[in-house]
């Protein structure tokens, strides 16, 4: 009987994992902010290379570059922002990729979600608290 329960558990776990990866957005590509549909951020370009388990992210904003390579299991990874060191953690929450960035005492949460053919990024300041901004990106090429 224990074997039966173990097999059932394995099937349920496999189905849950398969469903989880099916909900993940395809963020890969080069993206440019759409100023008309965004709260600020007129000159932002994203380059994202993504698999189910890793993300290489590069954001260019008015000459400043933020970049990291990280797994999507919530583990902390190094990040550079304008040549300065920071830390980042990533995980999927349903159809969204959550990016938690810590730079010094500042913590910012970003939620990346596909909306049709566009990429929407909510920028949520955690510490210090602040206004949430929304950026909408269109895919280039």
- The predicted-structure confidence for 103-138, as pLDDT tens digits, reads as follows 999 999 999 999 999 999 999 999 999 999 999 999
Can you give the pTM of this predicted structure?
Answer: 0.82
Domains of the chain, by residue range, sit at 26-140
The beta-strand segments (E) located in 25-131 are 29-33, 44-50, 54-61, 64-71, 73-81, 84-93, 96-103, 106-115, 118-127
Which CATH architecture group holds 26-140? Beta Barrel (2.40)
């Amino acid at each position: 009987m224990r074997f039966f329960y173990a097999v059932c558990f394995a099937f349920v776990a496999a189905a849950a994992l398969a469903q989880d990866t099916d909900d993940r957005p395809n963020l890969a590509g080069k993206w440019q902010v759409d100023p008309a549909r965004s709260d600020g951020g007129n000159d932002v370009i994203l380059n994202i290379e993504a698999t189910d388990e890793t993300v290489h992210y590069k954001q260019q904003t008015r000459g400043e570059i933020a970049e990291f390579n990280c797994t999507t299991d919530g583990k902390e990874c190094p990040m550079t922002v304008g040549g300065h060191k920071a830390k980042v953690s990533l995980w999927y929450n349903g159809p969204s990729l959550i990016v938690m960035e810590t730079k010094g005492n500042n913590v910012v949460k970003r939620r990346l979600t596909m909306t049709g053919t566009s990429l929407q990024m909510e920028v949520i300041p955690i510490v210090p608290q602040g206004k949430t901004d929304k950026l909408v990106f269109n895919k280039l090429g």
